[in-house]
Chains A and B, each alone.
Chain A
Amino acid sequence: MIKKIVTFSLFIFVSGLTGIVMAGFLVAQQKCGTALAPGTGLLGESGNSAATSTSGQVSPGGVVLSSAEVSKHNSGNDCWQIINGKVYSLSSYLNQHPGGAETIIPYCGKEATAAFSNKGNQGSNHSDFAWQLLDKYLVGSLGQGMPSSTSSPGSSQAAPKAPAGAVKPGLPDNNPAVAATKAGDSISLSAAEAAKHNTAKSCWLVVSGKIYDVSSYLSKHPAGAGAITPYCGKEATAVFSGTGGGHVHSSYAWGLLGSFYIGAIGQSTTASTIQQNAAGAQAAAQQAPSGEDDEDD
């Protein structure tokens, strides 16, 4: 009996280990074929989004990444941190942190180099892997110019259509690796803009005056995608909070929603900032790569 338990566990262990390592290897192989930026493109399912794997942003003037600017992004929904003189937007990653979101949130809007290097006084550094993973969430270097948006790079897998907003010529970034030519285009977030994203492929929800792109999450919704799709492109505050007859969502669900945040109504953002975190959102939604940025409707 005891020996059987041990044999069974060893079998599970060996198969699990082999399975996961093989899966990881296969994913790595795939990414090698498509990644545009070696070194960062290897990090998971986000690799298919070119914008995420480069640290460069077209910076059409406006905001400079300063400590003061970073300090505005100081919540779980909108979390920027400074690590080694670079600014990272970790909003979409929070829920995936193996050590829990709540260990990162205290550093939102702040300098976090020391905390990241010693795991909040744990005395141990993050792994090289974690440092690499961090690159995925890079916004830019301190002092670097950014698009005029002050909104948080939320998350979206869909690149919104180029909006009517003017394209401001930006200061050339000193990083030459620029992937998306329209990355700096400004998009003003409005109910009208949200309404364009009214399909399951590109589904934006307006909840409490904020816009969330939940496209990548639909298939994961416990109550089914069908419960969300009718609200794509629409105001969904009532139904999400349960006052409109919908399900009363847990605080976890609210937290999860945060990882799909694009910006508040009235703010503007850019294609690049949205793209930038598409990967994070995709991972947050635990989605199999669904591929292309869509340009429909």
Chain B
Amino acid sequence: MKTNSTKRGWLAIGAISLFPLLPWLALKPLSVRFADGWATAMSLGQLTGLIGMAMFASALIISARAKWLDTLFNGLNLAYVRHHQVGAISFALLLLHPLLLAIKYGQSSWQSAAQFLLPSESAALNYGKASLALMILLLSLTFYAKLAYQTWKLSHKFLGLAYFLATLHLLFVYSDTSQSFVLKAYMLALSFSALTAVFYRTVASRFLVRICRYRVVAVNRINDTVVEIVMEHEGKEMPYNPGQFIFISFSQPGLAERHPFTISSSGSQLSVAVKKLGDYTSGLVGLKTGAIASIEGPYGRFSYLRSVNKKQVWLAGGIGITPFLGMARSLGEVSDYDIDLVYCVKNAGEAAFADELKMIAASRPWFRVHLFFSDEQGHISASGISQTVGGLKDRDYFLCGPPTMMGAIKAQLKNYDIPNELIHSEEFAMI
């Protein structure tokens, strides 16, 4: 079940991140830890450091893009959402870590607190400071700078270095960690796993991750902004389910960057539908047939087959139609499913693949396609869906589209008492 899987991911992160609390609590009584304001500041400083490091490690491990993460988080794209969230929280905690400890130094004097925060002669402290400085730089780029995907990705990899420096800090600085064998062993094991994950992703992946070779056989212009790239396997065929996604790079100048795309096909041919959004996707329009595609994957668990009810609503926003296109193409002639596809676009001109979808629906009374034009009808809402499909109860909902639309619809469905486990969404904000 979706919700259980989501919880499973959070539970794993929570267990990893909060485990250091146990040996920390066992080390000294709480009456000493929180004896007064100064002691409390120091204790919170230690905790933000420990838990921040553990969460940082979790974020790095999640970013390893391994198959088991796909299972644990119910789709690698969701794993990346967690990576984003956990990473940000760990950053927030690690920012507080030196400040809280500095307050403890303020007990002696504010001057010593200031000296504690500034670069010092202590290598162990400086590792920590360098690590935090690097994090501030790199995460400012992530959160506030609009970098090109590949530039951002390269910059983001250096967080592995920040973590390495943080590990040195953890290893050499005098702290509870250095006093408790359990704490030290655990934190070092975690650091080792995280750094292994970084190594796997940045260095070893080119040798270890299986890449399938496909050849581009057609680049079909669907409308002004959407093309569909059709590929056939050169070597071994990659098995996949409609709705999953892959990472592709092409052997053509300017297109060698590896990007994630949802599979829009079903069967032995592999295709992805691409909308011109940035430089890279615009460049794909110029893709030539015969180019070789290097494909990593497939990932993701977004599939109408994983559901509670066979009565379903598929809600697509714009290019979010791609996973549904793959699923629709895979539908048999006869089925006990009952599916309403609500396809939201600005206007008829933007409704890529609408004709093909209508054709699929024509011979299948249990599969219906509803076009929703926001230029005429405004934003789609849960009540709008209800009117279109005739009620909201006892259905599973599959959502793929712009994050704002999905957020709004999820919230509205909850207001209609649709339980979480019936709502499945494909997030694409951050991969």
Contact = CB atoms under 8 A, between A and B. Distances in A.
B304 interface: no
A127 B173 CA distance: 11
A6 B143 contact: yes
Interface string B93-116: 001100101111111111111111
A42 B109 CA distance: 10
B266 to A, nearest CB: 35
A27 interface: yes
Contact of B114 (A25, A222, A251, A252): A25
Nearest to B105: A98
A3 B429 CA distance: 13
B109 A122 contact: no
B106 A5 contact: no
A271 interface: no
A2 B84 CA distance: 8
Contacts of B111: 23-25, 27-28, 31, 42-44
B359 interface: no
Given A20-B99, A20-B106, A124 B88 contact: no
B97 to A, nearest CB: 10
Interface in B19-52: 28, 31-32, 35-36, 38, 42
B123 A24 contact: no
Interface of B: 28, 31-32, 35-36, 38, 42, 84-85, 88-89, 91-92, 95-96, 99, 101-118, 120-125, 136, 139-140, 143, 172-175, 178-179
Given A13-B95, A16-B102, A28-B114, 15 more contacts: A2-B85, A2-B88, A7-B143, A8-B92, A23-B106, A24-B114, A27-B110, A27-B111, A43-B111, A96-B108, A98-B104, A98-B105, A124-B124, A124-B172, A286-B38
**Which among B36, B106, B114, B118 has the greatest number of chain A C-beta atoms within 10 A?**
B114
Interface in A96-140: 96, 98-100, 103, 119-120, 122-129, 133
B108 A6 contact: no
Interface of B is mostly: helix
B92 A6 contact: yes
A16 B115 contact: no
Interface in A21-37: 21-28, 31
B95 A99 contact: no
A119 B112 contact: no
Contact of B174 (A21, A28, A122): A122
A119 B136 contact: no
Nearest to A31: B111
Interface in A17-74: 17, 20-28, 31, 42-46
Contacts of A251: 31-32
A129 B99 contact: no
Contacts of A248: none
Contacts of A46: 109
Nearest to B136: A10
Contacts of B178: 122
Nearest to B115: A129
A175 interface: no
Given A124-B122, A283-B107, A12 B115 contact: no
Contact of A9 (B91, B106, B117): B91
Contact of B113 (A6, A20, A119, A252): A20
A243 interface: no
Contacts of B104: 98
Nearest to A28: B111
B182 to A, nearest CB: 17
A265 B345 CA distance: 89
B163 to A, nearest CB: 17
Contacts of A17: 99, 117
Nearest to B100: A16
27 contacts: A2-B88, A5-B92, A10-B140, A12-B95, A17-B117, A20-B102, A20-B114, A21-B114, A21-B117, A23-B106, A24-B112, A27-B110, A44-B108, A96-B107, A96-B108, A99-B175, A100-B28, A120-B174, A124-B174, A127-B115, A127-B120, A127-B121, A127-B125, A133-B108, A250-B35, A252-B31, A252-B35
Nearest to B126: A127
A3 B140 CA distance: 10
Contacts of A44: 108-112
A10 B95 contact: yes
A61 B341 CA distance: 98
B229 to A, nearest CB: 32
Nearest to B120: A127
Contacts of B42: 98
A224 B111 CA distance: 28
A148 to B, nearest CB: 31
A108 B173 CA distance: 23
A155 to B, nearest CB: 14
A27 B117 contact: no
Contacts of B36: 222
Contacts of A9: 91-92, 95-96
Nearest to A93: B108
Contacts of B118: 21
Contacts of A27: 109-111
B113 A24 contact: yes
